[in-house]
Amino acid sequence: MKYLLYFLVFMSLSVTAQDKYITKTGVVQFEASVPSFEEVAAKNNAVTGIINADNGEFAALAMVKAFRFKNALMEEHFNENYAESYLYPKATFKGTIDGFSLKTEKTTYKITGELNFHGVSKTISNIDITSVHKNDTIVIEGTFKVLASDFNIKIPKIVSNKIAEEIVVNFSFELVKQ
């Protein structure tokens, strides 16, 4: 009887223990290039990502200052005029991966959640992601598109033919079990 009790306590503990997978070096890239003009693209490879493997909740946090452009002036303009990173230093995403499970090794899911950038929150729905689960790591990758205007970012007329209104965002997270 005592052992059964221990067993039950142990079982309940292992059920409530959250299975968290974390990375501090996730990669998020975006591109708003227009063909035949200089590329408008940046990469951030210090993005934090957390998956709660029990319920498929996913959270990511990127420091806006950590988006690096090839062109230093473009980086400066991005920070000062577009993203206003001194006011809004963080970009965050909070969402849920639909039907997430660790049973399958390689699969695709859909994720829905709220993206916050430049002080504006927007729900982005049903983004396709691929997930590869091996031993203690999960690799999640995907792409989605957003509009600059959705995040209250105005592209001045004078450069509007050089910057695309539609921004393609790529992400890749290699999360390790904690």
Partner 1 sequence: MRKWIILIALLVLGIFAYNYIYQEHRNIQDETPEFVVTAVELSKEFSNDPKASERKYLNKTIVINGIITEQNENDLILNPNIFCQFEQKITTNDTVVQIKGRVIGYDDLLEEIKLDQCNILPN
Contacts with partner 1 by CB under 8 A lie at 22, 24-25, 45-46, 48, 50, 59, 61, 63-66, 71-73, 75, 85-86, 89-90
Q: Which is nearer to partner 1, 90 or 145 (CB)?
A: 90
Closest distance to partner 1 from the beta carbon of 125 (Å): 22
Give the nearer residue to partner 1 in terms of CB position, either 24 or 145: 24
Which pair of structure tokens corresponds to residue 9?
């306590």
Q: Is the dihedral of CA 84, 68, 23, 52 positive or negative?
A: positive
For residue 71, give the DSSP letter.
S
Q: What residues have CB less than 8 Å from 118, skipping those under 6 apart? A: 82, 83, 84, 88, 151, 152, 153
Smaller CB distance to partner 1: residue 63 or 168? 63
C-alpha 72/C-alpha 38 separation (Å) is 13
Q: Are 117 and 78 in contact (CB under 8 A)?
A: no
Closest contact distance (angstroms) between CB of 46 and partner 1 is 5
In the complex, least distance from residue 33 CB atom to partner 1, rounded to whole angstroms = 16
Nearer to partner 1, 108 or 121 (CB): 121
Closest distance to partner 1 from the beta carbon of 178 (Å): 10
Token readout for 78 is: 């991005």
